[in-house]
Structures are given as structure tokens and as C-alpha cells.
């Protein structure tokens, strides 16, 4: 397939939330206590909610910036591309990157919205609903057909979470972000019947449970003095644990319509994982009492789990060992793993290397995403205007050049020391 003829839907991108997001959706009685964006004297912008301060980490919004500006230090909105937080500018960036549609994970509330869990359950629920309404009605609603809507969970209340899933499904949202390990966050594990109302609501509404890497809040480093490269390398490893935990759980057996996405988890590890679970089943099912109704765990995995990749040459090569109907593409805009605006070039090079036929390409680049998330962009964007080439022509003149945006360039040694301080604090909080 010619690069410009590809149609790209990304199932993993991110929002840097704008400061006015709660204005139109939070009841008046709660607005005084709502999270707010605070501009500091050092030029950074941070979200503040009661005693909690959440900075905009530089690695979360480096699209269009030189690698010298990568890091974990906080930054201001004026240091990042407007497309990170302005939906109209986001669509221009998507066009320039040849991306038809995008599913956007949250930033400051966390992937599971644990930040919103307060002693006032009505207020907490109002925050989740306000965020979801802003995301669905304003962010996604501003450009129909360009965004797959995603909802935050009510992570602290399974019944209320189920009700929210049903509420947003009526608004056309069939995607829920969640934790890869709720037990690590102090909530019941996936194996607990506590979550049954949620599983039932997901099945009833055809909503996908998205467990994103890092969503458990666990720091994936073996020691406090490990370099940050260890943390970055190991980030996807928690998703492997989540996949195993869910595959062997009662959830898969008792809720046969459940759909789970392993967001930003990559695909190259999956063929070995599937071999391993089948071997485990063969050798141990007689005493662990696992029963998949005459099927292998690998077969059950392909019925319930969606995987995604950015370029992942090994995963593309082994796509049929994974399951061609279980793979979606992602751009990860505006995070540091993203190749925006050159993602189509990177992806096309991998597809050509392994001589991927058009049928397989279409499934991985957009058809699987449309099917899994009950999303039809072509009801709003004609197919001939949805290709990489057509979108880029529509973006003619939009500036995508690499630009320095930081107020100051921080020495790498200072960045490393800042990382170590945060790692020590995280490990202390985790009792390590």
C-alpha cells in the first residue's frame, strides 16, 4: 500500500487538559473547590486540587520539540504545542501527521481518576461526570468523526462506575480508561466480585476496558539508584502482569463479552506470552483447575484482548501469531515515544519491510479500531478525504517544524537528579 493511501486511527494519544474544562459541566456549588490550573512564579503551570499538585511533566508534551527539552521537570502551557490542549489545533496537528482519528487518555486526573476520590462521594462523582461530559461533548464533539470518546471511571465505587459506563454509552462513548492493577491502588483486585457490576455494564454496552501502562501508579524500577532508562524500559512490563491476571481470572469466564485493551503495551512480547500461557495450561490445569471450555488460553486471549503498537517491527512481523484482528496502531501524541508528524513514514517503512498486504494493513491501521470501539468516522469524513495524503493536503501551511519552547534548557545532570528525587519519594510512599 502506498503511504499516502493509508487511513490511520490512533487508539492511544493524550490530552493536556485546558484550564477552562470544568466551566460548563460542574455544578455551581462545586466550582469553588474544583481542580484549577495555577501559574507559578517560575513560569510553570500546575494543576492544584486541594493539597495535591500535579505538574505538566515535560515528557508528556514534547511533540514538535527537540530532544534536549525532554525530561520530567514541570513546564508551562506556553512551552508546549497548542495542539496538546486546544482541540482545534490538535486536529490541525492530526491532519499534518496524516491521522484521521484519535483516542485521548487523560493526564492530570491520572488514568484511573484516583485524584477525584474525596471524602465527599457526590463531589467526586460530579468531577468524573464533568470531565467525561467535557471530553465527550466539547473535545470530541468539536470535530465529529475525529475522536474516539473515552470516559474516566468512578474507580472508588463499582456500582457508580457501572452507572457512569451506561450513562456515557448513551452519549456514544464505548471506551473506559482503568487501572492495570486496582489492588495496587488500594481497591479490590480484578478477581474480586466487587467489580461484577462494572463488568456487566461493559458487556451490556459494548464498552472496552483500557488498561494503560503506568495506570497502577507503581514505579517500575528495581532500585532507587537505577537510571531513568530502567524505568522507561520497564514501563510496559506491568501490562504483561495485567494481561496474565485478567486472562486467568474468573472475569473472562463469567463475562464472555468483556473486551480489554492493553494500551501502549506494544505487541512484540505477545507471541511468547501466548506460548507461555498455553504451556502453563497444559502442564498445570489439572491442579490449578483452570477450564476454558475446551479451548486454549491463547484462543481465549484473542477473543478478549486488543493490543497496540507504534512501529514495533517484531510485532508486525509476528502479527498472525498475535492475531491480526487484535492489533491496532497508535501515535502516542504528544508523548516522547510519538513520531509525530512523521509517524506514517515510520509505520510504512515497517509495513514495507515485512511486505504486509493491504488487508492486514487496513485492519491494523483503522478497521480493528472502528470495530472494537464501535466508531464510524466515515459517517462524518468521506473515505477519500480520510487518507494520510488527503489529510496532509488539508493541512498545507501548518507549521510542524521542530522548535525550542522551553523557558530554559536544563542541564542533563540536573534532570537526572530531579528524577532520582522523585523516585526516592515514590519508593518511600510505596514502602520500598
- Dihedral sign (CA 216, 218, 219, 221): negative
Q: How far is CA 17 from each of CA 32, 47, 54, 87, 175, rounded to the nearest angstrom?
A: 18, 9, 12, 10, 18
**Predicted pLDDT at 74:** 61
Length of the chain in residues, anyone?
432
CB 54 within 8 A of CB 108: yes
- Dihedral sign (CA 126, 373, 270, 59): negative
d(CA 30, CA 118): 13
Q: How far is CA 201 from each of CA 25, 174, 206, 216, rounded to the nearest angstrom?
A: 24, 11, 8, 22
**Predicted pLDDT at 215:** 84
d(CA 233, CA 241): 15
| Radius of gyration of the chain from its Cα atoms, rounded to whole angstroms | 21
Rounded to the nearest angstrom, the gap between the alpha carbon of residue 127 and the centroid of all alpha carbons in its chain is: 20
CATH number of the domain to which 72 belongs: 3.20.20.140
pLDDT by position in tens, the chain (length 432): 999 999 999 999 999 999 999 999 999 999 999 999 999 988 889 999 999 999 877 667 888 888 877 776 668 888 899 999 999 999 999 999 999 999 999 999 999 999 999 999 999 999 999 999 999 999 999 999 999 999 999 999 999 999 999 999 999 999 999 999 999 999 999 999 999 999 999 999 999 999 999 887 665 555 667 787 887 787 777 799 999 999 999 999 999 999 999 999 999 999 999 999 999 999 999 999 999 999 999 999 999 999 999 989 999 999 999 999 999 999 999 998 899 999 999 999 999 999 999 999 999 999 999 999 999 999 999 999 999 999 999 999 999 998 888 776 676 766 666 666 655 655 555 455
- Dihedral sign (CA 96, 98, 101, 103): negative
Q: Which residues pair with 74 in a beta bridge?
A: 57
Could you tell me the three cell numbers for 393?
A: 493536503
Q: Which residues contact 277 (CB under 8 A, 6 or more apart)?
A: 244, 247, 248, 297, 298, 301
How many CB atoms sit inside 10 A of residue 431's CB?
Answer: 5
Q: Look at the chain and report how many structural domains it folds into.
A: 1
d(CA 76, CA 44): 4
Q: Which residues pair with 113 in a beta bridge?
A: none
**Predicted pLDDT at 383:** 98
Domain carrying residue 247: 3-429
d(CA 46, CA 56): 6
Q: Which residues contact 149 (CB under 8 A, 6 or more apart)?
A: 103, 135, 136, 140, 168, 171, 172, 173, 174, 175
CB 11 within 8 A of CB 263: yes
**Predicted pLDDT at 226:** 77
Q: 192: number of CA atoms within 13 Å, CB side?
A: 10
d(CA 187, CA 181): 9
Quickly list DSSP for 303-367.
HHEEEEESS-HHHHHTHHHH-GGGEEE---TTSTT--TTSHHHHHHHHHHHTT--HHHHHIIIII
Amino acid at each position: 500500500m502506498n503511504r499516502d493511501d493509508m487511513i490511520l486511527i490512533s487508539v492511544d494519544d493524550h490530552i493536556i487538559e485546558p484550564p477552562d474544562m470544568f466551566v460548563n459541566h460542574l455544578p455551581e456549588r462545586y466550582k469553588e473547590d474544583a481542580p484549577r490550573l495555577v501559574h507559578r512564579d517560575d513560569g510553570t503551570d500546575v494543576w492544584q486540587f486541594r493539597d495535591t499538585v500535579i505538574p505538566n511533566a515535560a515528557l508528556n508534551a514534547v511533540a514538535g520539540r527537540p530532544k534536549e527539552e525532554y525530561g520530567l521537570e514541570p513546564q508551562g502551557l506556553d512551552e508546549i504545542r497548542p495542539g496538546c490542549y486546544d482541540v482545534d489545533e490538535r486536529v490541525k496537528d492530526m491532519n499534518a501527521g496524516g491521522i484521521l482519528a484519535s483516542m485521548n487518555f487523560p493526564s492530570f486526573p491520572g488514568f484511573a481518576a484516583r485524584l477525584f476520590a474525596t471524602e465527599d462521594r457526590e463531589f467526586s462523582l460530579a468531577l468524573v461526570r464533568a470531565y467525561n461530559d467535557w471530553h465527550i461533548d466539547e473535545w470530541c464533539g468539536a470535530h465529529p468523526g475525529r475522536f474516539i470518546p473515552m470516559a474516566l471511571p468512578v474507580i472508588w465505587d463499582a456500582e457508580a462506575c457501572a452507572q457512569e459506563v451506561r450513562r456515557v454509552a448513551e452519549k456514544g462513548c464505548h471506551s473506559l480508561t482503568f487501572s492495570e492493577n486496582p489492588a495496587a491502588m488500594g481497591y479490590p483486585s480484578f478477581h474480586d466480585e466487587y467489580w461484577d457490576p462494572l463488568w456487566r455494564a461493559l458487556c451490556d454496552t459494548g464498552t472496552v476496558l483500557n488498561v494503560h501502562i503506568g495506570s497502577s501508579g507503581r514505579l517500575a524500577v528495581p532500585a532507587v539508584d537505577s537510571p531513568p532508562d530502567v524505568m522507561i524500559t520497564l514501563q510496559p512490563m506491568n501490562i504483561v502482569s495485567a494481561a496474565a491476571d485478567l486472562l486467568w481470572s474468573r472475569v473472562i469466564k463469567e463475562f464472555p463479552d468483556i473486551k480489554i485493551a492493553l494500551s501502549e503495551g506494544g505487541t512484540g512480547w505477545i507471541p511468547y506470552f501466548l506460548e507461555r500461557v498455553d504451556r502453563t495450561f497444559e502442564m498445570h490445569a489439572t491442579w490449578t483447575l483452570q477450564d476454558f471450555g475446551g479451548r486454549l488460553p491463547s484462543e481465549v486471549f484473542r477473543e478478549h484482548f486488543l493490543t497496540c503498537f507504534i512501529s514495533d517491527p517484531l510485532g508486525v512481523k509476528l502479527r498472525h501469531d498475535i492475531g491480526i484482528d487484535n492489533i491496532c496502531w497508535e501515535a502516542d501524541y504528544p508523548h516522547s515515544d510519538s513520531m509525530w508528524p512523521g509517524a506514517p513514514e515510520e509505520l510504512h517503512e515497517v509495513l514495507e519491510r515485512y511486505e504486509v498486504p493491504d488487508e492486514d494493513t487496513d485492519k491494523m491501521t483503522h478497521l480493528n479500531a472502528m470495530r472494537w470501539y464501535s466508531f464510524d468516522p466515515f459517517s462524518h469524513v468521506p473515505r477519500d478525504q480520510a487518507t494520510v495524503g488527503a489529510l496532509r493536503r488539508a493541512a498545507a501551511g501548518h507549521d510542524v517544524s521542530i522548535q525550542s519552547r522551553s523557558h530554559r534548557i536544563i542541564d542533563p545532570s540536573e534532570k537526572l537528579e530531579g528524577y532520582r528525587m522523585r523516585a526516592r519519594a515514590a519508593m518511600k510512599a510505596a514502602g520500598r
